[in-house]
Structure 1
Amino acid sequence: MIEDVRSAVHEMSAKLYGGRRYDLVGFSIRDGSYPWIEVHDGVIHWTLMERGVRYGPTTTEDLHEAMHWVALDATRSMAMRWELGQRDRWPEDRDTRIGWNAKQVALLRLLDDQWAEEYRADIPVRCPGVRLEDVDAHPLAAWVAIKTADESFLARQWRTLRDKLREPY
């Protein structure tokens, strides 16, 4: 059964990473708040260890449920990294949780619409003060395509960076 789990994880990563296959979860004990999965007697165990303290395991016999756990963890990491890269696009006082929740919903939607809707519905509970209408309205990728297509924009960005590097301290 562990090979079924590994195969499902690789299939999920291919959807998230444009065909590339990664282990989105470990398959042996790891520290550093990195989850891993073990299978014993047909039961899938999801465990996490942080600074030597073991959390879990959470168990299931349902592969789909275990993949839901993997999806939530993997898309959370991806969404938070994405949001960090977008911070300079918004006012300093903007709630950063809006962007990463919007991105996580979009990533989950790539995997399973029901997972995305369940996650979205729970945002006000998990993140008090974050409004669903703000999450739904948050732009995700359109500006990237526009900027990337605009070579003059890229050239201006390069010149600005080059000029900053030439400035005396």
Structure 2
Amino acid sequence: MDDYKFLFKVVLVGNAGVGKTCLVRRFTQGLFPPGQGATIGVDFMIKTVEIDNEKVKIWDTAGQERFRSITQSYYRSAHALILVYDISCQPTFDCLPDWLREIEEYASNKVLRVLVGTLLTLGPRSSLPSCTALALNRPEAENVEKLFMEIAAELMEVMYSTS
């Protein structure tokens, strides 16, 4: 069994097809799987980060409406929630208030919330508002590692300050 001081549960939420699984696989396996299919139910992967060798547990949730009852139970013990939308697809941005309402209802009020815009196609740039904290796309995937490392560092800081 691995030794670790903290185990953080990071849940990715957002509409189907916005790249949640791609983000998790890029972080945990170092690759973007081409033609990634829809996640059925809930899938998760684990990666140990090099911040005092703490383990971060990444939960990738399904975005389809029919799986929402499954994913709601995972909000309760989440330390961080990453809201993901595709910057080239306006409807995924328009659904963010719905995801935020769900988070308000089911997650702890202390959960860390991060907004991430992905760009899954190489087509014309979107005209969505530029409020994204971190834009991620395939050719420039180094931001994926940065995203999860910053989340882990912030969660560790919170844990150390409350202990």
Interval of TM-score (by shorter of Structure 1 and Structure 2):
0.3 to 0.5
Larger radius of gyration between Structure 1 and Structure 2 = 1
**Higher strand proportion (structure 1 or 2):** 2
**Higher helix proportion (structure 1 or 2):** 1
TM-score normalized with structure 2 length = 0.32
RCO comparison, higher one (Cα < 8 Å, 6+): 2
TM-score normalized with structure 1 length = 0.31
